[in-house]
Amino acid sequence: MDIKETVADLKKSKIERESIIQTLKEKYPIEDFIVFNEFNLKEKEEILPFKLNEFQEYFYKEDALLSGLIEKRDILIAEKYDHYRFQEDKRLSPSEIKDYYLKKDPEIVAFNKNITTQKTTVDYFAGCVKTLDKMFWLIKDYIKTVRGI
């Protein structure tokens, strides 16, 4: 693989991540919700705990899926290692298997791509949860400031 192919793959990967994030933003919109002012403050304050809980649930579900993918990939790596170590005619050292065979095995590469995609999803929901949590504190500070005036 030459440098041009590597750069093209990285650009394609970036575009795929951006597409995933855009799809998540459309399916699970949060940007309009996090904007508040004195006119919609009470409504946002009442809904916020439910919204935070909703996005925490999304995060936990997607994170569990990520953990499952990682676990299955690790099992696949162990099976592939066993295959290369004991069933191939070649006499390969453990480091040769790890460094040269497992890293380019098509099944492992595909699993790693799925894991990367899932990490993007998990990161999106983690960001949403952090944003909603921060919003909670901003609303509290805003109310304190208004009452203090």
Q: What is the pLDDT of residues 74-104, one digit of tens each?
A: 999 999 999 988 887 678 888 988 988 999 9
Give the per-residue pLDDT at 2. 77
Residue range(s) defining the domain that contains residue 127: 52-149
Structural domain includes residue 63: yes
Given a cut of 70, whether residue 18 has pLDDT beyond it is: yes
Structural domain includes residue 131: yes
Which residues fall within 8 angstroms of residue 105, CB to CB, at 6 or more apart? Answer: 80
Give the per-residue pLDDT at 79. 95
Structural domain includes residue 84: yes
| Element housing 149 (H / E) | none
Give the per-residue pLDDT at 58. 98
Q: What is the mean pLDDT of the chain?
A: 91
Structural domain includes residue 145: yes
- Per-residue pLDDT band for 6 (boundaries 50, 70, 90) equals confident
Phi, psi values for residue 93, rounded to 5°: -80, 160
Structural domain includes residue 64: yes
Number of domains in the chain: 1
Rounded to the nearest 5 degrees, what angle is found at the Cα of 23, between the Cα atoms of 17 and 26? Answer: 145
Instruction: Write down the pTM of the prediction.
Output: 0.85
Structural domain includes residue 29: no
Structural domain includes residue 43: no
DSSP string covering 68-107, please? HHHHHHHHHHHHHHHIIIIISSS---HHHIIIIIITT-HH
Sign of CA dihedral 81, 85, 88, 92: positive
Q: What is the pLDDT of residues 41-63, one digit of tens each?
A: 888 889 999 999 999 999 999 99
Structural domain includes residue 90: yes
- Per-residue pLDDT band for 39 (boundaries 50, 70, 90) equals confident
